[in-house]
Structure 1
Amino acid sequence: MEDLKKKTATAEMMDKEIVFSKSVKAGKRIYYLDVKKNRKEEMFLTITESKKIVMGDGDNSQVNFEKHKIFLYQEDFEKFITGLTQAVGYINDNQEMHYYSNEGKSGEAEKTAESLLNADTDNAEENLKRDSEANNLGGEIKLDIDF
């Protein structure tokens, strides 16, 4: 029985092996993009949103972190990126973007953010075309969400 627990613990550790990590700070939130390997050496992406929550005031304050995770598997990248690109495009087309900098140059920050977003969207679409030709992907999108 103990050997079974050891094997299970080892397998769980292998499922959590991070081979690449990138963090993106956005106000009170931090997004972690972690590439992990599972037991079969297959890589997948874990997207974690971490939000700092302070409860109470002064010396009695308590800090907690609220986390949400999405597990995204390689066979679903194309559909996920397509959906994400469409959703971001919809927001860009239908809502004015507001970016603020410490120096009060919100106009410059807005133009820079829009140009970066458009560049990322163009690259994503090019990568999607290349990947879809290399892989004949089909089926459903599989997302595992931990709360």
Structure 2
Amino acid sequence: MRENDMLEKEEIFSKVLRAGRRTYFFDVRSTKADDYYITITESKKFTEEDGSFHFKKHKIYLYKEDFAAFRDILDEMTAFVLDNKGEEVISERHQRDFKKEYPADEEPTAESSPANTSFTDIDFDDI
């Protein structure tokens, strides 16, 4: 058995987070010395023009001695992002079929609706 197979042979506890084309796998594994560590794997699906697909995977190994510092930095970074940009996913606005959902008491006005934004059509002959 290869060393890498031995390193990851025993999976103790797992959770999966599906997020669009990405899937995150959180696994608690056991070392040869019967201590625990965590692996976090991001798996992203890529579709080829012919309809076939493949996955790219990235893995992080997180050991107990790093848990507290990792958690502190992750908490700080997520708080920074949410405090500065909120929870709305801005990249969704750039998708071709994006339609903003408005709460019932906050219907869009002519000024706020992107479909009603005025645009001046300028021809190069006008310049």
Same fold judged by TM-score > 0.5? yes
Distance 2:45 2:81 in 1: 26
Q: Which residue of 2 aligns with 1:18?
A: 11
Question: TM-score if structure 1 supplies the norm length?
Answer: 0.57
Identity of aligned residues (%): 34
Q: How does 1:1-147 map to 2 (within 5 A)?
A: 9=1, 12-16=4-8, 17-56=10-49, 60-98=50-88
- CA shift in 2, pair 1:66/1:13, >3 Å: closer
Asked if the contact 1:98/1:106 (under 8 Å) is kept, the reply is: no
Is the contact between residue 54 and residue 61 of structure 1 (CA under 8 Å) also seen in structure 2?
yes
The residue that corresponds to 2:119 in the other structure is none
**Secondary structure of the structure 1 residue equivalent to 2:40:** strand
Structure 1 residue runs without a partner (length 5+)? 1-8, 108-147
> Whose relative contact order is higher, 1 or 2, with alpha carbons under 8 Å and at least 6 apart?
1
Q: Which runs of 5+ in 2 are unaligned?
A: 93-99, 104-127
Q: How many residues align?
A: 93
The TM-score, its normalising length taken from structure 2, stands at: 0.66
Match for 1:62: what amino acid? Answer: S
Aligned-pair Cα RMSD in Å = 2.2
Stretches (4+) displaced over 4 A: 104-107
Greater gyration radius = 2
